[in-house]
Structure 1
């Protein structure tokens, strides 16, 4: 099954609030973003946004240039319905990250649980290439994956578990590591999932 078909099925068969990675409020991401002191008009992209509520809270904080990208149109439609009239304030992209086309130089690239699905080095190389090409100089990259003591699968797909050191190694060529933190996420059914978050800044 192609990735798009897989994720369309996930978001068609389940409500956005029923998937294991759902968060009522993405607290850790929001805390790390707050520390960056970004300007309201700084362009931000959430890659693999799914039906995440991150955009809801970023809009509340006054951010004006938000782009949500996901391969699943069903996932983004869930968010559009939830946001109502506020959905018009967001740029919506139904696309695989590998096919990202945007003329924006993003100040922040946020990825919660896309990169860990890339089990082949060629896909990770492509990710780094796309990231570098669409992030402004001195822009920020906030990534979250399953931690080294987290699950080894998600939605029936194998993933790559990461430690802080492993993520730093993946991005050290073009990015400076700033900080990391861990989170134990509780799924809607109460299952614990350990995540690692790493914040980087793009080198000039």
Structure 2
């Protein structure tokens, strides 16, 4: 009986995996360098030295350190959307959504920066999730729609969900950057403070 022929991976498939691995190596290197010496001090040469890639390979993917930083922000926001989806699926009401969303964000950035924190990197805020990228704008719109949905279940005064979303993201970003500078990092403490602040503001508005 003739043995079945081996199915070899196609050159196209291997090439795609190699390109993805190279891009990931550059993003990981960029995270480490930005965290260690800061965005302003970083050069493309610094990022390349952190990888095993040639300079020419780097420029096949990115033209500048700015593009690397933008890609890191987009990548982080894209992966955070999966956590937000879990929050959406399990939150039973507005208050639960607020607590769970803050906890998901603070936990996410703590995990993202774990290696840099262990290495004593002083520029952690530079590698958090930015708010001005297309991916993060999509996250903001998801949050706005989520808030609109959970609030529609409750009776009472209507809230401006655009303002509410902006407030939630602002609190998360500022507190998250500060949380990363504290030791030990207290995800639950940050969650409780941020959620209490936002919910307290909402109660104040709706009581008028």
TM-score in same-fold range (> 0.5): no
Structure possessing the higher relative contact order (Cα contacts under 8 Å, 6 or more residues apart) = 2
Larger Rg: 2
Bigger fraction of residues in strand: 1
Bigger fraction of residues in helix: 2
**TM-score normalised to the size of structure 1?**
0.28
**TM-score normalised to the size of structure 2?**
0.27
